[in-house]
Amino acid sequence: MKKIIQLMLVPMLLILATPAYSTPVSMTLKCGQDDEATQKDLETAATKWLKAAKGMKGGENVELYLHFPVVAQMGEIDFSFVLTAPSIVEWAVFMDGYKGSEAQKLDKEWDELATCADSALWKTIKLEVPAPKPKKTTK
């Protein structure tokens, strides 16, 4: 998890150059699972971490997903750790308070289960199909 914090530095610097949109953002980390760790171990540690993160200013609305492949050519990664926030502003507030937080203290437990060596912060755009226009009826 120590690596996670280091990898978050670049996206945080990008925040300074990005206008404060209300568009959701997602941080995706590519992770390798330690040989002795189980998926249940990862879920348990991630749930503890999420509980701590939600207790932080800016973290109240974050969501966490672990993406495990069903069918894939993943290369050297075993799963993805995906953290979402409703806006880049909330993300920045969350990251600003991360150092010394309860969530950061739980990073050590995560480091015993997985190594997350690469990350990216993504702007998320949800697409929807417009509702069909009502048909005109004739009498």
- pLDDT tens for residues 3-39? 555 555 555 555 554 554 579 999 999 999 999 999 9
Q: What is the rounded distance in angstroms from the CA atom of residue 69 to the CA atom of residue 56?
A: 30
- Give 59-95 pLDDT, tens digit per residue: 999 999 999 998 877 778 899 999 999 999 999 999 9
* pLDDT given at position 13: 53
Is residue 98 very low, low, confident or very high in pLDDT (cuts 50, 70, 90)?
Answer: very high
Distance CA 72, CA 44 (A): 24
The whole-number pLDDT of residue 133 equals 86
Does residue 135 contact residue 48 with C-beta atoms inside 8 Å? no
Nearest to 53 by CA among 10, 94, 111: 94
Length of the chain: 139
Query: CATH 3.20.20.80: does it fit domain 2-123?
Result: no
Q: Give Cβ neighbours of residue 40 (< 8 Å, ≥ 6 apart).
A: none
Using CA atoms, how far apart are residues 104 and 21, in angstroms rounded to an integer?
Answer: 26
Q: pTM value?
A: 0.76
Domain locations in the chain as residue ranges = 2-123
Rounded distance, CA 114 to CA 78, Å?
9
Quick one: average pLDDT of 91-119? 94
